[in-house]
Structure 1
Amino acid sequence: MKTAVIFDSAGTLLKAYRVAKNVRTGQITENVASTNMVLQHQGCALVAMRADSADFLDKLNAGTTISAFLASSSIGLDVICRRSKCTTDRISQAAMGDTQATIGDMRDAVAAVKLKCKDIYYVNMGFVVDVPHSEIPYVLATGGRLFSGVKQLIRRLGELGVDVYIASGDNRKSLSALARELGLPEARAFDALSPSGKKELVIKLREKYDRVVMVGDGINDHQAIQAADIGVLTVQQAGPRPQILYDSADVVIDNIRNVEEVISKRLPEGK
């Protein structure tokens, strides 16, 4: 039986450290669940900046608004999740209408991640867009490092004849580096995927494989977990999760290394 396993990255393969800065109050909140921030507010969307690293921020004026920077640069945006059915163009237009969020705010979020996440693996940046009001109420930054045992897990899955994929909302550079670190073909790392994009990948791979397993940790993995032959929810990354995630998963694990046991029990003998 031909089996594929799809892993989310941040919170699943990587222990993620996320912070959000409230643009109006200046308050920085640690260990936020960014997708939950969006889903709790009607008309909001979570957007990631398509940047290879955060280094470019140091060359910019801290007082420049994010909207002005986006208007004058070639950096694109990826919509990771949205509370309403707003189009990507409408979300981008709303972000461009903001007048308060600045490059300095983004720097503060990135600095907070680097301060707490010493052996950082990557930094991703983004913001929440309040579409009806054309505002950016929060800027966000995320850093992460591999959970213990991930490399050994990926190697063991390969020995079992399982094909491993990564599906994430993270940027291409982060995913390519992660794939190389784990010894996976870069063609099996899918970046900047929305929740529906992860689901579509699961459906596509089900046409090619006898069994597809989806492993994720957050609400943005919900659709893919539901669509998979075996949906695995990992709760190794601490934080609240909606009950719908637990209800849709076939298996709940508290250590990523347990994925091997889940798959081995369901593979036919001799596989």
Structure 2
Amino acid sequence: MKAAIVFDSAGTLLKVYRVARDVSTKKIIENVVSTNMVTKGRGCALIALQADSVDFLEAADPSMSISEYMACSNLGFDIICGGLKCTHERIGDAIKKDRTASMGDLKQAIEAVKLKCKDIYYLNIGLVVDVPNGAIPYVLATGGRVFPGVHGMLKRLMDAGIDVYIASGDNRKSLTSLARELGVPESNVFDAVSPEGKKEVVMSLKERYDRVLMVGDGVNDYLALQAADLGILSLQQEDMKPDILFKASDVIVDDILEVEGVVRESLHKSKK
């Protein structure tokens, strides 16, 4: 039986630390669930900035607005999640209207992550965009480390003939580094994918494999978990999970290493 397994990255393969900087109060909010911040606000979208690293922030004027910097540098963005009306064009227009969120806000968010985590992967810097009001209420930074034992688990799955994929909203550079460390072929990495994009990855793999499994931990994995032959929800990243995630999943694990046994059992049953 030809099988594939798709992993989300942040919160699934990686223990992550996320912060948001409230643009209006200039306060850092720790351990945020960025996707939940979006679902609570009507017309809000979560976007990731298309930056290979955060190094560009060092030379950026902290007083410059993010909208001005993006326009001057042609810095683009990818939509991680948002409502149906949150199109790329509308989000872009909303960003252009904002003059409050600054490059200094982004710098402070990154610094907050650095203080908490050493030797981490910088996965994403992004924004919550209030599309109807043309505002950026929060800037976001995320860093993370590979959960213990993941390297060995993935190697054993691949040695058993199971193809491993990573599908994530994170940027290409971060995911490429992660894939290299974990031994996952770079061709099996899908970066900057939206929830709909993750579902499309699963659906396309189902055309090539007898069985496709999806492992995720957040609301942006919801559609892919539903689409997979077996959806596995990981609770190891300790944050609030919406009910729809539990309903969309076939199996729930507390530790990512439990996935190996779930996969083997699922394939064994499928062969009968």
TM-score of the two chains, using structure 1 as the length reference: 0.98
Aligned pairs for 1:60-139 (under 5 A) are 60-139=60-139
Which whole-Å CA distance do the structure 1 matches of 2:86 and 2:19 have between them? 25
Structure 1 segments unaligned to the other structure (5+ residues): none
Q: Secondary structure at the match of 1:148?
A: coil
- Contact conserved, 1:54 with 1:123, CA < 8 A, in 2? no
**Corresponding residue of 1:43:** 43
Aligned-partner Cα distance in 1 for 2:113–2:184:
27
3-state SS of the aligned residue for 1:122? Answer: strand
Output the TM-score relative to the length of structure 2. Answer: 0.97
Deviation of the 1:14 alpha carbon: 0.5
- Residue pair 2:47, 2:77 contacting (<8 A) in 1 also: yes
Q: Which amino acid aligns with 1:31?
A: N
Identify the residue that residue 252 of structure 2 maps to in structure 1: 252
Percent identity over the alignment? 58
1:41–1:83 Cα contact (<8 Å) kept: no
Deviation digits for residues 219-256 of structure 1 (CA, Å, limit 9, x no counterpart): 00000000000000000000001111011100000111
Q: Does 1:162 align with 2:149?
A: no
* Structure 1 residue 169 displacement after superposition: 0.2
Given the alignment of the two structures, is residue 33 of structure 1 paired with residue 43 of structure 2, yes or no? Answer: no
Partner of 2:233: 233
Q: Distance in 1 between matches of 2:83 and 2:19?
A: 20
Question: Displacement, 1:266?
Answer: 1.6
CA distance in 1 between counterparts of 2:50 and 2:122 reads 13
1:56-111 deviation line (CA, Å, top 9, x unaligned): 11101110000000010132100100034221111111111101000000000000
Equivalent position SS for 1:256:
coil
In 2: Cα distance, 1:13 partner to 1:166 partner: 9
Q: Distance in 2 between matches of 1:244 and 1:83?
A: 16
Aligned Cα RMSD in Å? 1.3
Deviation at 1:32, TM superposition (A): 0.2
SS in 2 for 1:213: strand
* Counterpart contact for 1:49–1:78, Cα < 8 Å: yes
The 2-side partners of 1:224 and 1:237 are apart by 18
Segments of 5+ residues of structure 2 without an aligned counterpart are none
